[in-house]
Structure 1
């Protein structure tokens, strides 16, 4: 396949979006006014709605250009595209409603506009998903390639090459390496693309070969060369990226911040540090927890009665846990064990066939029904529906010395379920693996990621073979 210019691809995407919007208009018109499924007749003629559909399409395309929605996204997750689609079409509808208000177009059906909005988001998300999947398959077969030159054949450059080879769906091909200290790779790396010159040969190599991006993977002591390398790349018109030699200390998604006019690398990008993300997640928590309490109330009532009739003592078990910003709170659960000293419950793990469990408690723990009172923790703001599971203070003090990056989990609210739990890491499983999953969730949070975790938790079921 002949590689086409980005400008042409941008125009193609814009045209496809516009056509999709007009097809959605026809579908929405039929559903609302012609199908008979919704008892409603239009007070305005078809051509009147058609005019506003064209206007909406132009508005959506304009906003898409404004928010850079048509820039290359081969390195972006599909959830990024979905979020952009939702933003573009909500803003487009709000702008259209403003125009309708100014022109006093009061007879345009608002319920139709809502149907039109939902169908646009669903339809464009579907076709973009199909396009993304198709492009991945095409790239895996060796087409639609972007060509990369790596500066530095040391540990950093080789690591980048290895990672790139593990993701053929991204469609990147390395043309070779430039390095000042090696003319060819060591024997164990002989299958790598060759070293084709020294750093000073960069300009001639860029002129002789097709190169789309240059990756600077040089050690820190070569920092003085970065300026001239970037100048050469910009002179030729090639994009430049730098892999910092201290990347092992950085998370998967570091970002640049600004402090007193100076750029800073933020070593931990946490999406939930953004105010709008926190508000969105908190609103969802309140709505979801309220609905869960209402739906599961009969189950909670039955559990309450069963515990009360079969075991003396309080029905609700309260235990101190460490939450957001290392603040302590009391987490609620249905009591599943006989009354034991508080010190023992705070410092001991439950084990298989634990003699402290009651018969009802064994069932509640296996089915995770003992966790239901934690929806009240969510309403009180101690917890979230999705997040890292909170631990007891005694074990937090122990794990923070033994498990690398353990305390990072306390940057966000703990959850009833999480990415680790939805992958089977519950109960008596590896703490290190759980923390790795928790950190991945913290750094990659999106609203859709939360929905995915909740869905996986439901699909995988609540039976926990590791819950003792």
Structure 2
């Protein structure tokens, strides 16, 4: 179908300028939107598995064909691909996180190796078979995840650098819809690029709730006009948010979107309570969404706190030479105590003294007063820069926060959790920011889910609350390990002016 004329645009209620601004993406934009996700990923896995086989043979000290080597080459590669597909490793998700993929990828490689070993042992009496399969397992266990890591890193870089992504239509014009589009624009690595809204002609943009923002995108028509809008814009993604459209019309729109080969995403009701462990079950033909309980006072978090104390003590012992050296440098840098103590709010709203290495000189009368920008959290360099030379280094590398390990040993903090805030700001934020107070269901942390995603210093408070509550609702030991690993990476590339 040809693109709509100006008359068609007026019938859709779409200004010609809006159509031009949401025209079909160019070839580079289509490539950056990753339309060949499955094909490219399968091809890379096949190449990595073939390289693993070749490396296993070279490791054995020869490149001549073995009686079992040819069989392995034929069977190992497709077996790995089939098992990865069974673990949904070729499904196109919003994000490609290496740590999330590591476990199912390694499990698939291990099963492929075992599945190949058993029939080969039955087919030959050569004891070298086991050693060869072990080498294949080790080589594939390194090369396949490494290839996937490179692919995900390149994809994320291209999306952040060029801001390209799949052209996305959002159904609804309320605060949740605008929050979604704001996330899409600020987080291009998710691969969604909002190009317009679909809603009834009588709907008006709702005033945003605390922390929500309005995103200026054109209204391209009503949900019933989806086909015409898709043909005009080349949209490939559809996100259904809360709107005034009847459910029957939304169901018809989903059917039409699937016929247009669009991916459809739906924001569920009660989305604040839905975590990654929520399950969909069926009562007859009716789906029921089961919400897993999150109990910060239950045994899971008791285990977390015991693990925090144990690991925190081990870390403190291991870094004691660095800790004592920094303490000496702080003492020599300027007059004042070694530790900087500041009252913060922890679990269940209880205050405690949060410890840091002192990084600033004493205040002078000439120093200006800091004025917090509206919508931003306190933190970073506030007012006049009073950091000492060693203080700048510690702030840039986050070494100034090492004394919080003492807070962890005292049971006041966790290794991972929402970052604590000062009492005066907590009272203000609980009034202004939606769900801010729910962060205090758990102990404050030295690092957190929000911090490893760049939300530190003077960044959005609403975004921090959103990411912190996600962490609480989806807590697991593996998530803590993942955050600690991401913290190391974030510290290595962090710089503070």
For residue 452 of structure 1, what is the aligned residue in structure 2?
Answer: 486
Paired with 2:413 and 2:40, the residues of 1 have a C-alpha distance of: 45
Paired with 1:158 and 1:371, the residues of 2 have a C-alpha distance of: 36
Alignment of 1:88 onto 2:122? no
Kept in 1: contact 2:439–2:468 (CA 8 A): no
| 2:419 aligned counterpart, secondary structure | coil
| TM-fit CA distance, 1:53 | 5.8
Q: Could you list the per-position Cα deviations for residues 398-439 of structure 1 after superposition, in whole angstroms to 9, with x for gaps in the alignment?
A: 76456654323334442234555996956xxx6x84674364
- Greater shift in the superposed pair: 205-214 or 385-394: 205-214
Instruction: Within 5 Å, give how 1:218-233 maps onto structure 2.
Output: 219-220=243-244, 222-223=246-247, 225-230=249-254, 233=257
| TM-fit CA distance, 1:192 | 3.3
For residue 420 of structure 2, what is the aligned residue in structure 1?
Answer: 390
Paired with 1:452 and 1:316, the residues of 2 have a C-alpha distance of: 26
| TM-fit CA distance, 1:22 | 1.0
For residue 118 of structure 1, what is the aligned residue in structure 2?
Answer: 142
For residue 218 of structure 2, what is the aligned residue in structure 1?
Answer: 192
Q: 1:33 to 1:376 in 2, by over 3 A?
A: farther
Kept in 1: contact 2:171–2:177 (CA 8 A): yes
Q: 1:160 to 1:61 in 2, by over 3 A?
A: same
Instruction: Within 5 Å, give how 1:37-76 maps onto structure 2.
Output: 48=68, 51-52=71-72, 55-73=75-93, 76=94
Paired with 1:295 and 1:282, the residues of 2 have a C-alpha distance of: 20
Alignment of 1:130 onto 2:130? no
Which residue of 74, 84, 95 maps to 1:77? 95
Paired with 2:432 and 2:228, the residues of 1 have a C-alpha distance of: 51
| TM-fit CA distance, 1:61 | 0.9
| TM-fit CA distance, 1:84 | 1.6
| 2:446 aligned counterpart, secondary structure | strand
Which residue of 434, 437, 446 maps to 1:416? 446
Which residue of 426, 434, 437 maps to 2:464? 437
Alignment of 1:19 onto 2:39? no
Q: Could you list the per-position Cα deviations for residues 68-93 of structure 1 after superposition, in whole angstroms to 9, with x for gaps in the alignment?
A: 221223xx2232x5522442124422
Kept in 2: contact 1:213–1:238 (CA 8 A): yes
Q: 1:326 to 1:240 in 2, by over 3 A?
A: same
Alignment of 1:10 onto 2:38? yes
Q: What is the TM-score of this pair, normalised by structure 1?
A: 0.58
Q: 1:202 to 1:409 in 2, by over 3 A?
A: closer
| TM-fit CA distance, 1:19 | 1.9
Q: 1:84 to 1:209 in 2, by over 3 A?
A: same
| TM-fit CA distance, 1:180 | 4.3
| 1:385 aligned counterpart, secondary structure | strand
Structure scoring higher RCO (CA < 8 A, sep ≥ 6) equals 2
Instruction: Within 5 Å, give how 1:313-324 maps onto structure 2.
Output: 322-324=345-347
Q: 1:255 to 1:371 in 2, by over 3 A?
A: closer
Q: 1:48 to 1:414 in 2, by over 3 A?
A: farther
Paired with 1:290 and 1:210, the residues of 2 have a C-alpha distance of: 55
Q: Could you list the per-position Cα deviations for residues 4-26 of structure 1 after superposition, in whole angstroms to 9, with x for gaps in the alignment?
A: 9x998635532331122212333
Kept in 2: contact 1:25–1:53 (CA 8 A): yes
| TM-fit CA distance, 1:383 | 3.5
Paired with 2:216 and 2:392, the residues of 1 have a C-alpha distance of: 58
Q: 1:279 to 1:97 in 2, by over 3 A?
A: farther
Alignment of 1:170 onto 2:153? no
| 1:78 aligned counterpart, secondary structure | coil
Paired with 1:150 and 1:405, the residues of 2 have a C-alpha distance of: 24
- Greater shift in the superposed pair: 204-213 or 403-412: 204-213
Q: Could you list the per-position Cα deviations for residues 134-165 of structure 1 after superposition, in whole angstroms to 9, with x for gaps in the alignment?
A: 6888994x9xx65x566567887788778767
Q: 1:54 to 1:403 in 2, by over 3 A?
A: same
Paired with 1:289 and 1:206, the residues of 2 have a C-alpha distance of: 57
Q: 1:288 to 1:49 in 2, by over 3 A?
A: farther
Structure 1's unaligned 5+ residue stretches are 35-40, 183-188, 337-350, 354-358
Q: 1:420 to 1:305 in 2, by over 3 A?
A: closer
